[in-house]
Structure 1
Amino acid sequence: MPDPSSPVSQGYRMPAEWEPHAGTWLAWPHNPETWPGHAIEEVETAYSAIVSGLIAGEAVHILVKDESARQRVERKLAAQILQSPGNIHFHLIPTNDSWIRDFGPNFIVRDTGSGKEIAMNKWGFNSWGKKYPWQLDDQSGDRISQALGLPTFHPGIVLEGGAIDVNGQGTCLTTDSCLLNPSRNGPVTREEMEQYLKNFLGVRQVIWLNAGLVGDDTDGHVDNLARFVSRDTIVCAVEENAADENYAGLQKLFSDLQGATGPDGRAFKVIPLPMPGPVIDDGVRLPASYANFYIGNRTLLLPTYNHENDDRVRQILQELFPSKIILPIPCTVLVAGLGGVHCLTQQQPA
């Protein structure tokens, strides 16, 4: 039974990423330890491209640690601010890191007779199982809540935004290896975790997957593996090279998804999304995936890796989102921090 005080009991649900946004949230990069061997300026170049790709279609909210940082980033984004004055908003909220998908709040909506009401879930965050410092990251969600003045729910468990993907119509994708990992919430069963997802995301069904990429320090975030692109269609990362370390796991993932059905019993359409091959930095394989794209109002931000499959994937996603501009974001530097475009963004629904 749903908790009567939970979001679902009050009519809330987490919308799909392609539903209209009021804005996108970012945490400006500042921690050199996140991208070892790369200057922060290299990372900022990718961030600037992300902001440029979004501001014509929605507001962009940027967390910075203090006023000095705000002024510096404002100078960095002078061209974008000139292009869309009033569409970039700075918030003086310090963070340990930049992966706001995981430590930021996830927004939920409920329909009213005259429109939509927005609220937030502020999940706990412990840096993917206490792998890195996290206290400021964990505090940032409540500070965003204070800045916006939105109703905020506190589920009381650790959950990262990259660990879930929803179609806005009752189904959530996730992985056992992440959500059931004892480093997050101690011993927890599928049934217990499903009840949290149903209560706080408004889903009726959870599809549990069992996969992960080589080099992924999140224990298998689903936003690097499989993503909804419509209520009944999923794109799934598939490695085509049988000699690749990711081949067997991703082939099984694709097969498992082909057997998945929605709450109505109908099978989902599953479209393979090629992989970019091994992306190596300083001898270490990185968790590079095209599935880590971000769907904005006007643009779809596509991570690219200087690989021949960059264009193949662009064409696949253009067919799936014909009304959107598919904007390539070079991610060889970003993924050196073990994340990508989707990990660095968080949508706020309209």
Structure 2
Amino acid sequence: MGYPSAGTNATPKELGYTMPGEFEKHAGCWMGWPYDGNLWRENAKPAQAQYAAIAKAISEFEPLTMFAHPGECVAKDDPVTGKRIVAGVHWDYDCYGGLLKRKLGLPTMMPSWDKDYAAGRALLEMNGLEVFEAPIHLEGGSIHSDGEGTLMCTEECLLHPSRNPHLGKEGIEKVLKDYLGLEKIIWFWRGIMGDDGVVNGHVDNFCCFVRPGVVLLAWTDDKDDPQYEVSMNAYERLSNTTDAKGRKLEIIKLPRPPPLFRTFNEANGLAEGYVEKGYVPRIAGERLPSTYINHYCANGGVVVPQFGGVAAEADKKALEIIQEAYGPDYKVVGVSSREVVLNAGNIHCITQQHPAAW
């Protein structure tokens, strides 16, 4: 397999590149401002308010760059302000690429997202980084690295026929190991309940590394909840494996909030005809993929989703567990993000860390 854009036939792994852990030091964080009424209700105004709050929280710990559609930039200057924020970059985009240590960028590609490739390249060029084009469809939320050669993902997502049916499991493992400098991949059966209809069980909703050898796992003790079987299966897999360094994993259970469901109002208010345009229909009563795993680890801080209402007690408990997991060197803060989870993601999904590895 060649890597022509990097000017060599050697794999990134052979060249010494590796994917850092998200808990490692960052140069900053990237976010993209919501604006599409086909995706966000009420012309994205409720979502924009929560994005602004999330951006402000992250900016207390590290520099943050907000990418915005050109037509939205004026609106950004006011709500998205705060310590060390750069707002309103003029760039029409769909998403951004992931980064590896030692100047390696990976354009993350998703079927039918025509601007994805250009977006990844633009970010890399802005930072003067080398480009290795990965022959795989992969979203950043579908993988999680410990920075020391171990990666977690779900079979539900990476083996889904909408992504890379031509590769198969062995082919996917080879690409991931070659491009991300990996030695071992831990595969889970499925991800969080409620996450199956849009992104097919992203691991960033389900399990994450706090540091090498320590993971947080979404949990429920309710045996009548379908999540119980999925989380128990993952717990057993984690308990019976080691990481790339041969360490047994410490597993910290992080309870999900009580089941949350999309309300009638939350299922409406999108652009007229959005379903006919090919967007996923919003259905009142469907379970939301609410979880606290989907947080952002910044330099000395962790920004955690909060759902409020019936989840208020679970919100508080999650902050306590995450604080204990990350330890006294981190400040854990909660930010309301229900509007974000309405679009099948949360804080981790709408952020991209910029590693400070170069």
Measured against the shorter chain, the TM-score band is 0.7 to 0.9
Q: How high is the TM-score relative to the length of structure 2?
A: 0.86
Please list, as runs of the form range in 1=range in 2, the aligned pairs for 1:1-350 lying within 5 A after superposition. 4-36=9-41, 38=42, 40-66=44-70, 68-78=71-81, 80=82, 83-84=83-84, 87-96=85-94, 103-110=95-102, 118-126=103-111, 134-216=113-195, 217-281=198-262, 282-306=284-308, 307=311, 308-321=313-326, 322-350=328-356
SS at match of 1:48: helix
Give 1:210 deviation, angstroms. Answer: 0.6
Counterpart Cα distance in 2 of 1:283 and 1:95: 32
Give 1:298 deviation, angstroms. Answer: 2.8
Counterpart Cα distance in 2 of 1:251 and 1:104: 33
Distance 1:77 1:123, change over 3 A: closer
SS at match of 1:333: helix
Given that residues 107 and 117 in structure 2 are in contact (C-alpha distance below 8 angstroms), is that contact kept between their aligned partners in structure 1? no
What's the counterpart of residue 100 of structure 1?
A: none
Give 1:214 deviation, angstroms. Answer: 2.7
Give 1:145 deviation, angstroms. Answer: 1.9
Stretch deviating more after TM superposition (295-304 or 49-58): 49-58
Give 1:41 deviation, angstroms. Answer: 1.8
Give 1:11 deviation, angstroms. Answer: 1.2
SS at match of 2:78: helix
Counterpart Cα distance in 2 of 1:319 and 1:156: 39
Over residues 37-59 of structure 1, what are the superposed CA-to-partner deviations in whole Å (9 max), with x where a residue is unaligned? x5522111111111111223222
Question: Which runs of structure 1 show a deviation greater than 4 angstroms over 4 or more consecutive aligned residues?
Answer: 1-4
Stretches of structure 1 that go unaligned for 5 or more consecutive residues are 97-102, 111-117, 127-132
Over residues 198-242 of structure 1, what are the superposed CA-to-partner deviations in whole Å (9 max), with x where a residue is unaligned? 111111111111112332121111011110101001111111212
SS at match of 1:254: helix
Stretches of structure 2 that go unaligned for 5 or more consecutive residues are 4-8, 263-283
Given that residues 29 and 351 in structure 2 are in contact (C-alpha distance below 8 angstroms), is that contact kept between their aligned partners in structure 1? yes
Given that residues 227 and 235 in structure 1 are in contact (C-alpha distance below 8 angstroms), is that contact kept between their aligned partners in structure 2? yes
Given that residues 219 and 253 in structure 2 are in contact (C-alpha distance below 8 angstroms), is that contact kept between their aligned partners in structure 1? yes
Over residues 233-283 of structure 1, what are the superposed CA-to-partner deviations in whole Å (9 max), with x where a residue is unaligned? 111111121222322112212222111212343311111110112111131
Partner AA of 2:188 in structure 1: L
Counterpart Cα distance in 1 of 2:323 and 2:201: 26
Stretch deviating more after TM superposition (247-256 or 170-179): 247-256
Partner AA of 1:259 in structure 2: N
Partner AA of 2:121 in structure 1: D
Identity fraction in percent: 30
Give 1:2 deviation, angstroms. Answer: 10
Given that residues 148 and 245 in structure 2 are in contact (C-alpha distance below 8 angstroms), is that contact kept between their aligned partners in structure 1? no
Q: How many residues align?
A: 324
Given that residues 237 and 291 in structure 1 are in contact (C-alpha distance below 8 angstroms), is that contact kept between their aligned partners in structure 2? yes
Across the aligned residues of Structure 1 and Structure 2, the Cα RMSD in angstroms comes to: 1.9
Given that residues 123 and 156 in structure 1 are in contact (C-alpha distance below 8 angstroms), is that contact kept between their aligned partners in structure 2? no
